[in-house]
Amino acid sequence: MDRAFFSILQTVPTGDAERRRGWHRRWLWRTVLLLVVLVAVAPALVVELAARVSTYPDDGVRSPSPSTVVLDRTGQVLASYTADDGRWYLPTIDHGRWLPLAVEAVEDARFRSHAGVDWFAAYAAIGQNLMAGRVVRGSSTITMQVERLRHARPRTLVAKVVEAVRARQIERTQDKDAILAEWLERASFGGNVVGAGAASWRWFGVPPASLSLAQAALIAGLPQNPERLRPDRHPEQARERRDHVLRRLQAIGAIGAEQLAQALSEPVVLASRPLTSVDGIGAVPVLADLAKRRSGVLGTTLDLATQRSAAALAGERLERLAGSGIDAAAVAVLDVQNGDWLALVSLGGQPWIDHTAVARSSGSALKPFIYAGAFARGIATPSSLLADDPAAWRGWTPANFDRTWRGRCSAAEALRDSRNLPAMHLLEALGVARAAGIMEAFGLERLASQSARSGLTLAIGGAEVDARGLATAYAGLARDGRCVLPRLLAGPSAPSTPSPDGAEILPPTACRQVLACLNDRERTRVQCPAAVALEPAWKTGTSSGQRDAWCVALTPRRCVVVWFGVTRGPGSPALVGAELAAPVALAVLAACDPGGATWPPVDMGSATAVATNVVSAPLVITSPTASSEILRIDGSTKQRLALTCGGGGSGQRWWFIDGAPLVRVAAGEPAWWTPTAGRHALRVVDQQGQAAHVEVLVR
């Protein structure tokens, strides 16, 4: 090069020294400029060549593990759960209008014009850093940062070159929007928050698409130094960074002066509740189970206000029962018309158990379906007279809860007051298998299989049900005999095909008659005056051994199921459906039912339509029972033993002791006998000639 240079100089006229010096300077500057251009272009050429001759490593780049946020029907956060690695990450499709613009403005203003590496920014950064003697400015583009987020490397010059090469390769296979979206999904936004979706929920409690301009600017500024700029710990630094991002947006022409001023004046108000698992609304086990099966942002049909109200009412009553042995409660609230769960409350017991889905003894809660089936088949009407007398089946002598008998009473009265014997007579006439089939069709799962072992006890608690199943079934009655499967997920997370309206299980008239039997204003007023105007139909249930207390209260709009129970140890005398569950169920109904709709009118039938095949139960001696041993008090002439019987026809009863007449009494009345030592044969005959007998031993 030197030889060529001097040969050129020799061509310059030697007589003109000044011109010779001018030529020398020009060629010197041209050489320097050529060297500068070569130095500037060489890295780009090297990067481009390396990007073309190599391939992007196919090492299965994975997205972060998703966490879960569960929303109510209005978009409010019900609960949230970190991913398995302890980080918050929520895959997001729609980042809204402002957030992508703010990120481009502050991270890579020429993102749309460069091809992965912004060489102008790179050289400007080198110059500023050399002038300052330290790193004061970076030059990584959004695409280069995506590569760094995919493959973490030490912050070295070699790593920068690799990132530049990979950025060029990324740009050849992905468009700008996809690259920016990936950056928004992978960047750190403070603490264990990864991705703009989680950041938006974590800091402002809304999805990215709902962020205001100022909120989006604050989030866009966090990745520069996520810990130093965390808005919960360093609010002033976060606000200053937000304002810088806003001014950058104006500088690139994305917003105007008025928008800037308005955004700068907006206060930094963080979400009132951070992304943590939510308790206090009685939905911890319900939502935790949902989060185990799905991830991301899950929309549900639950209503936070209804959930809180139901949890507060049940929780207050549960607290007052402390020391009684009653340790758990559940509330299920269902929208009758569309089948949406509005509240699923689970309180007490083991914290991971969802009591709304645990099967417990039904008590008398299933009686309305027995009556509806009987009404539908013409076995009885609400006005039919049923037998409420002692009766026995194969030696088993069930009794009413209050241990009393009313003789004959209307079906409406028997159902409303939950008399056991009339319900069992109806069940016997309807058929256990048929009744269980009706219940299962209404949404009570496994009732048909349980009926084989429960028999007639199906009417009084021999089968197990859960709160969700009861709500589904009763809502079917309120829908005129049509069952709709409830749904919990809503929006994008809901099943693609909603469950259609079910076929008619029972005629509307039979369902309306049952609900009319259970709708009594004065009965409601005693329990909850606030619910009287809603004219609810409601039914209670108490399990044998008093371990479960139920109440179902419903209107044409809402169905509420309340359960209180004992999960450990013996039953509790306080567990009575009418005394414990009913006031809470009606109070929840009064709080969540918007009112308006009323029950349609219904014909309650004629009293002459007596279900004769129901009242004519076989005559049996109910006390004393067969093979009883009676202890006689020596020398007592006042000891008397009550002889009782059930079933049989109407009219008189004649009692005999060892074949000798004892006394004649009216049906339903006891006979009295002074026992004597020895073995005795007791016999009773009704007016129709039916007879029953037992043998007893008196000691």
> How many other CB atoms are found less than 10 A from the CB of residue 557?
17
Q: Do the Cβ atoms of 512 and 600 come closer than 8 Å? A: yes
- Nearest 10 degrees: Cα torsion 366, 368, 369, 371: 130
| Nearest in space to 220 (alpha carbons), one of 239, 192, 196 | 196
Asked about 236 being catalytic, the answer comes back as no
Tell me if 79 sits within 8 A of 70, measured CB to CB. Answer: yes
Q: How many angstroms from the chain centroid is the CA of residue 169?
A: 45
Q: Return all residues near 142 (Cβ < 8 A) that are at least 6 apart.
A: 103, 104, 107, 108, 111, 179, 180, 183
Listed residue (420, 425, 335, 346) closest to 380, CA to CA: 425
- Residue 364 annotated among the catalytic residues of the structure: yes
Beta strands 558-565 and 548-554 are antiparallel
Query: β-pairing, 88-89 with 77-81?
Result: unpaired
d(CA 411, CA 422): 8
The DSSP H or E segment spanning 490 is: strand 489-490
Q: CA 418, CA 460: separation in Å to the nearest integer?
A: 9
Q: Please tell me which residue in 67, 80, 104, 107 is annotated as part of the active site.
A: 107
Scored b (16 or more CB within 10 A) or e, 254-278 reads: bbeeebbeebeebeeebeeebbeeb
Residues in Cβ contact with 9 at an 8 Å cutoff, skipping those fewer than 6 apart = 20, 23, 24
Copy the structure tokens of residue 318.
């549960």
Name the one residue in this structure whose structure tokens are 């695409």. 143
Per the listing, tokens 């009704």 go with 686
**Distance separating alpha carbons of residues 593 and 103, to the nearest angstrom:** 46
116 Ramachandran zone, left/alpha/beta (phi>0; psi -120 to 50): left
CB of 342 closer than 8 Å to CB of 490: no
Exposed / middle / buried, residue 495 (Cβ in 10 Å: 0-12, 13-18, 19+):
exposed
Q: Strand, coil or helix: what is 9? A: helix
Phi, psi of 328 (to 5 degrees): -150, 155
Which one of the listed residues 295, 364, 454, 572 is annotated catalytic? 364
Active site residues: 107, 364
